[in-house]
């Protein structure tokens, strides 16, 4: 292929990323420095009032802190649940290994709205958990489980688990099995061999999975909106409200740029740890 | 019982718990869609197909179903063509600034969807495209393009460039060599990319939340809006149809081209 044709082959994709990502990103950056005027969005006067408002108000700072807390909790819980799955998939000799790996991906394909409804069926007033608890006599009245931070955490962990399992699985698969066997032969119990040998060697996967899950959980909007009710306000909800309820696009853009900086830093670290940049790896 | 097998049992038990947790929400939705009662209730007290009948009579959901289907197909076609061309150029013809271009093409994967939705809203309103199918298609092609670039690149990386060169030496023009030799070999990667593009477009709610208009409300967005007010098993019926459709697409793709052989994402 001649160089000219090569550029031509890249053109459609670059145009899409240019129109859909680069240009919108720059536009958002520009909006974040414009003054908000009720009714007509902006009068195109430069100002930093949007950032001052975001960082100068305890309400907004509280939302930022709560969002970051949620990110940490979701990341830790995902890690605890994902590690055994990744370890099992990496070490199993079962012929169902392919199917089991497939099943990790399957929920991602279904989309989050369907799974949010699944959690409503499980946690709702007449849902699985309440019916179960009542029939066991643990509680007399339905307990309020939905529309709380707990519900949001439960659902986010479920949705983000594949993003934790995959990096850990791929780093476990790189470890030579004989290393663990050598530790066992030298007298270590299975748990010692795991804690002293396997776990440290799988650390890169743990780090990249954690960064990915953290970045995705602090920017979640749909699940908190459906399962958190009005009580759980996270940073993405602030941005959504500014953009589509208040039509304060400059302020919404400032929140967006802030979220972009935080998640961009996390993703940069993620790419550094995995060292995977190329398209074909 | 030896220590090793006890250890393995603990790992197995924790894995089962995690799988129940991951698949539980989807399973209960499918069961709930056959519920006979008026309200969401689990486990169902009686069984019926009434919510599927209700869905068949609900023009809102049917319209949205059509919107999502059309959008998914348009997205898959554009993303597959553009992504395949780009992957071919990137894998076969390495050049300076290669890393920068690759990062740029994969970037939509790493930018949170909320931010993409917000930024697209700003841009599309400047272009007078808010709420249009074209605007939605731009957004969906953007988020699906990296998947196509990846699957096609992975399948191309497995094809020895020497096969194409051999065809050239035997007198084929590069177009003939591409169409007759390379294209058939990268078919599974292209098909996998197209399938993923369709599925991701079909199930995404984030972009629609920001840039959909009254005539372009996709199925996930319709569900989202509906669920904010009502949680009847109608939602479960719609979800079940969506799950079955996506499973069908994946199974057909697996049978036809071997999705799993096309490389992991």
Taking CA atoms, what residue in B is nearest to A261?
Answer: B111
- Which DSSP category does A36 fall into? E
The count of domains in chain B is 1
Choose, out of B1, B115, B141, the residue to mutate when testing the contact with A (most A CBs < 10 Å).
Answer: B115
In this structure, is residue B158 part of a structural domain? yes
The answer to whether the CB atoms of B32 and A23 lie below 8 A apart is no
pLDDT at B265: 43
Taking CA atoms, what residue in A is nearest to B18?
Answer: A81
Angstrom distances, CA of residue B7 to CA of A77, A181, B16, B177, B178:
21, 14, 15, 55, 53
Looking up residue B256, the CATH number of its domain turns out to be 1.10.3720.10
The answer to whether the CB atoms of B90 and A103 lie below 8 A apart is no
pLDDT at A206 over 90: yes
Pick from A22, A102, A110: CB nearest B26: A110
For chain A, domains (ranges, CATH) are 47-274 (1.10.3720.10)
In this structure, is residue B161 part of a structural domain? yes
Taking CA atoms, what residue in B is nearest to A251?
Answer: B118
pLDDT at A275: 64
Neighboring chain A residues of B120 at a CB cutoff of 8 Å: 20, 24
Contacts of B136 (CB under 8 A, 6+ apart): B71, B207, B208, B211, B212, B216, B218
pLDDT at B55: 93
pLDDT at B249: 87
Range list of β-strands (E), B88-202: none
Look at residues B144, B132, B138 and name the one whose alpha carbon lies nearest to residue B67. B132
Cis preceding linkage at B43, omega within 30 = yes
Taking CA atoms, what residue in A is nearest to B242?
Answer: A110
Question: Can you tell me the distance from the alpha carbon of B234 to that of A214, in angstroms, rounded to the nearest whole number?
Answer: 33
One digit per residue, the tens of pLDDT, for chain B of length 265 reads 577 788 889 999 999 999 999 999 999 999 999 999 888 888 888 899 999 999 999 999 999 999 999 999 999 999 999 999 999 888 877 777 788 888 889 889 889 999 999 999 999 999 999 899 999 999 999 999 999 999 898 888 877 888 888 888 888 887 888 788 888 888 888 998 999 999 999 999 999 999 999 999 999 999 999 998 888 899 999 999 999 998 888 888 878 776 555 444 4
How close does chain B come to A218, measured CA to CA in Å? 9
By percentage, how much of chain A surpasses pLDDT 70?
96
How close does chain B come to A209, measured CA to CA in Å? 13
Question: Can you tell me the distance from the alpha carbon of A166 to that of A162, in angstroms, rounded to the nearest whole number?
Answer: 6
Pick from B25, B199, B236: CB nearest A115: B25
Q: Is B242 an interface residue toward A (CB < 8 Å)?
A: yes
Residue B127, both tokens: 């272009």
DSSP-based three-state secondary structure for A45: strand
Q: Is B214 an interface residue toward A (CB < 8 Å)?
A: no
pLDDT at A269: 87
Domain residue limits at B200: 59-262
DSSP-based three-state secondary structure for A42: strand
Choose, out of A116, A280, A281, the residue to mutate when testing the contact with B (most B CBs < 10 Å).
Answer: A280
Q: Which of A124-133, A252-261, B6-15, B168-177 has the lowest mean pLDDT?
A: B168-177
How close does chain A come to B73, measured CA to CA in Å? 16
In this structure, is residue B28 part of a structural domain? no
Question: Can you tell me the distance from the alpha carbon of B114 to that of A240, in angstroms, rounded to the nearest whole number?
Answer: 8
Residue A258, both tokens: 């802030």
The mean pLDDT value of chain A amounts to: 89
Task: State the angle between helix axes of B113-126 and B133-157 in degrees (0 to 180), rounded to the nearest 10.
Answer: 130
Question: Can you tell me the distance from the alpha carbon of B121 to that of B142, in angstroms, rounded to the nearest whole number?
Answer: 14
Beta carbons of A226 and B228 less than 8 angstroms apart:
yes
Neighboring chain B residues of A279 at a CB cutoff of 8 Å: 87, 90-91, 102, 105-106, 149-150, 153
pLDDT at B51: 93
In this structure, is residue B134 part of a structural domain? yes
pLDDT at B263: 45
Neighboring chain B residues of A157 at a CB cutoff of 8 Å: 21
For B:43-102, CB contacts with A below 8 A are 43, 81-83, 85-93, 95, 99, 101-102
- Which DSSP category does A124 fall into? S
Whole-prediction pTM: 0.90
The answer to whether the CB atoms of A280 and B116 lie below 8 A apart is no
pLDDT at A2 over 70: no
In this structure, is residue B17 part of a structural domain? no
pLDDT at A37 over 50: yes
In this structure, is residue B29 part of a structural domain? no
How close does chain B come to A156, measured CA to CA in Å? 11
In this structure, is residue B108 part of a structural domain? yes
In this structure, is residue B100 part of a structural domain? yes
Give the confidence band of A150 by pLDDT, cuts at 50, 70, 90.
very high
Instruction: Determine the Cα angle at A223 with ends A218 and A224, to 5°.
Output: 65
Q: Which of A4-13, A87-96, A160-169, A218-227 has the lowest mean pLDDT?
A: A4-13
Look at residues B64, B74, B38, B67 and name the one whose alpha carbon lies nearest to residue B238. B64
pLDDT at B142: 96
Average pLDDT over residues A61-77: 95
- Decide if the complex's ipTM is over 0.85: yes
């Amino acid at each position: 292929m001649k160089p000219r044709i090569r550029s031509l082959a890249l053109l459609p994709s670059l145009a899409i990323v240019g129109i859909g990502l680069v240009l919108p990103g720059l536009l958002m950056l520009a909006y974040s420095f414009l003054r908000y005027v009720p009714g007509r969005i902006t009068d195109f006067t430069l100002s930093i009032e949007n950032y001052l408002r975001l960082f100068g108000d305890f309400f907004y700072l509280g939302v930022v802190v709560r969002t970051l807390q949620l990110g940490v909790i979701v990341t830790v819980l995902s890690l605890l649940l994902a590690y055994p799955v990744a370890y099992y998939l990496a070490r199993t000799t079962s012929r169902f290994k392919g199917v089991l790996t497939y099943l990790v991906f399957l929920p991602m394909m279904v989309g989050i709205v369907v799974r949010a409804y699944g959690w409503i069926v499980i946690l709702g007033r007449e849902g699985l958990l309440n019916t179960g608890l009542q029939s066991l006599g643990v509680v007399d009245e339905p307990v309020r489980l939905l529309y709380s931070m707990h519900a949001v955490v439960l659902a986010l962990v479920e949705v983000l688990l594949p993003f934790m399992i995959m990096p850990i699985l791929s780093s476990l698969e790189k470890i030579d099995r004989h290393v663990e066997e050598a530790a066992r032969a030298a007298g270590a119990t299975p748990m010692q061999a795991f804690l002293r040998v396997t776990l440290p060697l799988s650390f890169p996967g743990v780090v990249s999975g954690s960064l990915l899950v953290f970045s995705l959980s602090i920017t979640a909007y749909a699940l908190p909106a459906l399962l958190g009710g009005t009580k759980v306000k996270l940073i993405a909800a602030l941005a959504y409200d500014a953009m589509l309820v208040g039509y304060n696009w400059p302020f919404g853009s400032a929140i967006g740029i802030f979220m972009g900086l935080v998640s961009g830093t996390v993703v940069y670290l993620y790419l550094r740890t995995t060292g995977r940049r190329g398209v074909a790896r | 019982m030896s220590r090793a097998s006890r250890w393995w049992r603990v790992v197995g038990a924790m894995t089962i718990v995690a799988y129940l947790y991951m698949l539980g929400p989807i399973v209960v939705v499918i069961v709930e869609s056959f519920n006979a009662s008026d309200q969401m209730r689990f486990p169902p007290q009686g069984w019926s197909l009434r919510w599927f009948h209700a869905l068949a009579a609900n023009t809102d959901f049917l319209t949205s179903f059509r919107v999502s289907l059309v959008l998914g197909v348009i997205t898959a076609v554009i993303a597959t063509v553009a992504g395949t061309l780009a992957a071919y150029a990137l894998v076969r013809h390495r050049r300076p600034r290669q890393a920068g271009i690759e990062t740029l093409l994969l970037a939509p994967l790493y930018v949170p969807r909320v931010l993409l939705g917000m930024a697209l809203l700003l841009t599309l309103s400047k272009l007078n495209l808010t709420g249009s199918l074209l605007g939605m298609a731009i957004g969906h092609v953007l988020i699906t393009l990296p998947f196509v670039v990846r699957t096609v690149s992975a399948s191309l990386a497995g094809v020895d460039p020497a096969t194409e060169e051999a065809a050239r030496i035997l007198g084929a023009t590069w177009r003939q060599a591409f169409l007759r030799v390379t294209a058939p070999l990268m078919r599974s990667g292209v098909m996998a990319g197209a399938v993923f593009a369709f599925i991701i477009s079909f199930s995404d709610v984030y972009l629609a939340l920001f840039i959909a208009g009254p005539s372009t409300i996709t199925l996930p967005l319709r569900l989202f809006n509906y669920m904010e007010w009502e949680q009847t098993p109608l939602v479960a019926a719609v979800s079940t149809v969506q799950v079955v459709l996506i499973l069908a697409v994946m199974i057909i793709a697996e049978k036809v081209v071997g999705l799993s052989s096309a490389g992991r994402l």
